[in-house]
Structures are given as structure tokens and as C-alpha cells.
Amino acid sequence: MYTEKSPLTGGQPTYQNPSRMYKKQVKQFQCLLCAAVLSLFAIALITAIVFSVDEDELDNLINGNASLEGKLQASPGGGISEVEFNKALKQGLEKVMEEEDAMMRSPKILVNTPSYRHFRLVSFPENYNNVSRLGQLSDELTKYFIREKPELRLNISSVNVAENEEFKEYCRSSRSRICRSSQYRSIDGACNNLQHPDWGTSMRPFLRLLSPEYCDGVSEPRCGSREALPPARDVTLKLHRANYKSDHKFNFMFAVWGQFIDHDITATAITRLINGQMVSCCGSKGIDKCYPVILSEDDPIFILYNTSCMEFVRSTPAPRCTLGPREQLNQQTSFLDGSVIYGSNEELSRRLRSFQGGRMAVSVSEDGRDLLPVSIDLTDGCNREEEAKNGRYCFLAGDVRANENLHLTTLHVIMVRHHNRIASRLQQLNPQWDDERTYQETRKIVTAQVQHITYKELLVPLLGEKIMESYDLKVRTSAYSTIYDDTINPSIANNFATSSFRFAHSLLPGLMKSYEETSPDSLTLLRKIFFNPFPLYTAGSLDRILMSAVGTDVQKANRFFTTEVTQHLFEEPQNMTVPKKCGLDLVSMNIQRGRDHGLPGYPKWRVYCNLTPVKEFNDLKKFMDDESVEALQRLYKTVDDIDLYSGSLSETPLKGSMLGPTATCLIAEQFRRTKFGDRFWYDAYTGPHSFTADQLKEIKKTTLARIVCDNSDNVKEVPENLLLFSGISNKNIQCEELADIDFAPWSER
């Protein structure tokens, strides 16, 4: 198990080589036959230098930098004989099969219910079921040896299973993978880092910045240090209640682009059954993968629907090549590489291509407009029989969540049209290019633009100018401004995917500006845009949906959430012939997911970020309002138990940032590694595959506003920064006035 500590002090950001950090792990070999031979090996000890903390939270962040590296090194041994290991392996496999059998015999979630829709969004692909089994087997082996050999508890990572036949293929060492020279990214992220080819690859564990804290030390969800943690749903109702305060600086497109980027780099895997069904945890007992959200009798949902349970399946455990506490899998590549558009595995990426002129596949509406390819699976959680009868289906994209809300689907349409537009232009300039060359060059440009927009238009208003400067995240005007560092692991941190970047759920408004032609000035409930991409088939609707997002402001980023996501998430449209199913609570699921992943309590993350430590509830008053502190104190028995999600969202925002210091720190830390740990980063020169200086100059003209103008149906005017509300400092501008890219530098004639 490795941990990573990031002291946030000391001037300009520097990136430390792992050889300068030390990690100590005792490796003990105990001979079962003679019980006489002991040997110790020293590997590395990460030392965390905790400096004195200033009272000014912003200064603590901007005056420092995060050490970005740590390694997990496996070593053989552990004093386990082959006979004993085989015995453990046999028992572990039996437990895995028993669990699968119990799940198959348990009640299943009904198709097209809110819970079914949610699980289809995050469920594990069926062709990766063996990876899920290996993850559970890792858990069972770890539990067995801790139980049978208690002396291994602190040294369990000395047991290496990488050469075992069950794990061998998955655990092939990074040095055994041959990375062929390529000027383009791989689809699954492999071989981005030539020294560590698996870093950032899809279907690999999330990175840990702090060691997980499981109730049993191995896999059971985090529990309270003194008493049980408050039920996640109670935290929602008493701390994260609705309190509508709009943030007139940001529009809804800010949240949509944030979600688009989140889906590009994170996708926590949830196990589904071999036949594609979902187990009902509320109707089952004794299943390890179940961790349902419990509702109290005074809960509004309990009262209205007479239910005391909300479905929740635990994340799939990741296989480990050395034994240790449970880890979770990221289904996406960790690189900001446009995989949300192109897919993160070869099979899906090929389904999304037309193989003609480098273009992506599209479907065409009755009025001749390009839309996404369609998904005709009526059990996908999105498609509806009444719509399918009229030839209107949900869509297929690089990420399964593309249909989750109407505005997100619209952005997917825009980006696929954008790819095809660029591909056509490159073909005109270079008719000698074949389909593959045109596709890869276009994908390279679009990925660069996604990176540029994210760091220029999203992160600056999110984190603030000072934090962007301190973490070296600012986009520079010079041609090449990023120095790639192959010692930096760009993998997505578990806390980022499970908690920190889910802050945007608090931005969601209860009401949206209507996209309907008949009532453009009216408002519509947020719940009506979930799993409802069908308006895109209607002429003129795409532009109205875009303007709905641009014209709707978001809520302030804080601890308050609209009831649209705490009580009505993924509710199906009202149907008088079918009993209405209660909606889900997104906030409770976020809290539950953090506990499922064993994320340490909120105070430890403040220490990690070198912020003012908290020892008791009164300490929170330095950076939270009194009402938030009182609510937290009523819920949690000790300050150490506060969930990271709830604690960080309760902090007062930093000056110039949308968020408080803890969330700001953890988000900036991730995007720093994302940038400097990517060999193909758009403005880094790392070899012949990099953009030329002239090409990069054109890439840096990119704005999301221009992309929307070029690829909408008929949008003529937009805010200059499409993610901010229009006003004095962000005026509406005619599309033709926005800078456009000249593709002449790509011509090889």
C-alpha cells in the first residue's frame, strides 16, 4: 500500500523525483519449516514534511506545491508456502463463486426504475467480469492471510501474487509491456509513460494520496472512530438541505463542461451480474457488494413511498498484484484525452468510427442534421418503447453516461460534429492522407482543444488566478510551456473521483430555462432533462438547448443541494398507469461512495493539504460559518468522523475561488498531475509527435464559444466565455467575431 503526501509550502511548484522521497515497508520472510530465518528489506519511506500552518488558508495553498509522486513496488515472499497459498486461493475462489451465486439468486432491480438507470450508468462492462472476480479474490486472499497469519497484518503487501496463474495476465509488470514508438495516443492510455506503461491506463486502480481506512482494515466501508457514522441520508437532510442562492457569475454550461471533463477521466466501476441484471440490495442480505442507504421513518421519501431503503451497490474491487486493502477501478483513462468522445477501449472506439475520411459515425435526423449514432437496446435505462416506435432512440457515445441529461448529450453532439468538421478540412488540405491518418490527426487536435478549454475557461474561474499560478496550471502564451515529467503519476486520485470533483452537484439549479419552442421564457424542472435526449430529433431544438444552458445560472458551490437531486434524481416521467418510483438521492450516494472507498475523514485531508489542522469542532469556526459547524456537530460524534465530501463543501470559499481550501487543494493537485504527467500534453514538446510551433499557435486560439458556433444548427451570438454568465466583463459577441483556427500549418502539400 502506498501513500502520497503533499506539503503545500515553498515558492514556485517543483516536482520531486521519487528517489528523494522515502518509503519504509518492513518485508519479513518467515520460514514455516525451520522458523529460524528472518530477513529485513528496506524499500522506501515517504516522509511528509508538515510545516507550520498560517491562518490565511489561501496563503497556505498558493505558497506551496504538492509532491506528486510515489511508487507501489511489489516484492515476493511474505513467508507463505506454496501449499498454504494454494489453500487460500481455493477458499478465495469458493467465496467468489458463492457471492456470485447469491447475487444471481437474489431479487433484481426492475428495468427503467431510477435505481436501474443509475446502475446502468456506472456498471461494469460484461466483458470485464473476470477483472471484477480478480478484485474480489484479492480481497479474500488478503482477509485469509491476515486471519491465519496475524503477524502479516502490517506487512501484507509483502505477499506478491503477480506470478500466480490467476493474476499473471492482469499483473504483467510494466517493464514487460512493449511500447512501440507512436506519434498518437493509444485508446486505452497505455504506453503514455514509457517507463510506467500502465500509469493512467483504463481499467486500473485509482491512485491513493492517503491510505484507505476500512472498518476491518481490508474492505469493509469506513466506520466511526467511536460510534457508528451517521446514516448518509441523515447527513443529506440535516446538512445538505435545499437553500437556493444563485451564483450569477456562472451559467449551467459551466456545470455541463465540468461533467463532460469528469466523464473523460473518471468512471468508477460497479459490478453487474453476468446476464446484465442488477441485484436489489434492498431486497437482499449477506451480499458483500451491497451497502444500501437506510432511510429513517421521518424521511420525506419514507413517508411518501413507504420505503426505508435506497439501492446502493459497492464499487468493484480492483485486482492487486500484491495483497493489501481494497482498491477501486477507473474504467476511463486518467488522461484528459477526449476518451469521452472516442471511447477508452478499442472495441468501443471502432464502433464510433465511420472509417471514411477520418470521420466519426453519425445518425441523421429527418431534417438532415448529424446526430450521434443510436443505441437500440431497450434495456439500456434510457430508451423508451413509445419513442422507439417513432424511430427515436437514445445515443451511443464514447462514454455510457452521454444520455444522462439533455444538455450533456447536446455537448456530445457538438463535439462529434466538431471532429467531423476538422477531419473534412484536413482531408481537403491533405487528400493523400488515408482514413487512419486523418482520424488520428483530428483526434489529436480535438483532444488538445479539450485540454486548452478546460485549463483556460473552466479551471481559472473555478480555482482562481493565484491558485492557477501557484500550481503552474495557467495556459501560457508561449508556444511550448509545459515540461513533461515521467516521474509524475497522472492516474486519477480516488478522493478526486469519489468526492472532490463531485462538488459540481451542488451547482445544479432546481429550475432550468425552458428549451421548448412553445414556451421559451418559462422554466422547467431539472428532473425533466434526465435521460431525455429525444428533443434533439426536433429541428431547432439543439440551439434552444444550448441557449437554455447558457441562459440558466447555477447555484452557489456550497453544502446546499436542490431537492431535484436529493429526492427526485432519475425519476421516470409521470405515467398514470404505472406506480411512481421514488427518485434517488445523489448526495447520499456521494457520501456512501466515499465510505465504500474507505476515504479517510475530512481532518486528515486538511493535514494532507498543509491547512490549519482541526482537533475539535470549535476549530472549524475559523473557516466555516457557525450554522455549518453546529449541523456537523449534531451529526458526527467526533470531528475526525466528518466525511470529506460534507466537510469540504461546508468550508467558506477562498478569495477568487469557487470552493473552500480543501476542495481547491485536492482539485488543483489532480489537474497538476494530469498536466505534467501526460507525455502527449498539447503544449509540451516531447518529440516529433508534438505540435509544431505554428500549429500550437492556432490551437491556442480555441474557445468553446467558437466550437459551439461552428457546430450548432444556427447559433449566431454567444457570450465570449461560454461558461460564464454574460455581463459587462463577458459580453455577447457575434460568432463571426470570434477567433477561428487556420489549418494551413497542417498542410503537407
Q: Which residues pair with 371 in a beta bridge?
A: 363
Provide φ and ψ at 251, rounded to 5°. Answer: -105, 175
Which residue reads 441562459 in cell numbers?
Answer: 551
Q: Which residues pair with 512 in a beta bridge?
A: 524
Give SS3 for 609.
Answer: coil
Q: Where are the strands (E) in 370-515, listed by range? A: 370-371, 374-375, 394-395, 511-513
**Which residues are within 8 A (CB) of 580 and not within 5 positions of it... i.e. 6 or more apart?**
571, 572, 574
Decide: residue 370, CB within 10 A, 0-12 exposed, 13-18 middle, 19+ buried: middle
Closest CA to 562 of 525, 509, 512: 509
Burial code (b: 16+ CB inside 10 Å, e: under 16) for 52-78 equals ebeeebbebbbbbbbbbbbebebeeeb
Q: Where are the strands (E) in 630-716, listed by range? A: none
**Which residues are within 8 A (CB) of 573 and not within 5 positions of it... i.e. 6 or more apart?**
528
Provide φ and ψ at 379, rounded to 5°. Answer: -110, 20
Closest CA to 259 of 475, 409, 374: 409
C-alpha cell at 487: 516521474
Residues noted as catalytic = 263
CA distance 705 to 458: 13
Cα dihedral: 398, 400, 404, 409 (round 10): 20
| DSSP tag of 20 | G
418 annotated as a binding-site residue:
no
CA distance 451 to 445: 10
Q: Which residues pair with 195 in a beta bridge?
A: none
**Residue 259 CB neighbour total at 10 angstroms:** 22
Q: CA 290 from chain center: how many Å?
A: 21
Closest CA to 675 of 192, 64, 2, 21: 192
CA distance 710 to 225: 55
Q: Measured between alpha carbons, how far is residue 557 from residues 62, 173, 518, 663, 725 in Å?
A: 21, 42, 32, 11, 15
Q: Give the residue numbers of the binding site.
A: 505
Q: Give the residue numbers of the binding site for heme b.
A: 505
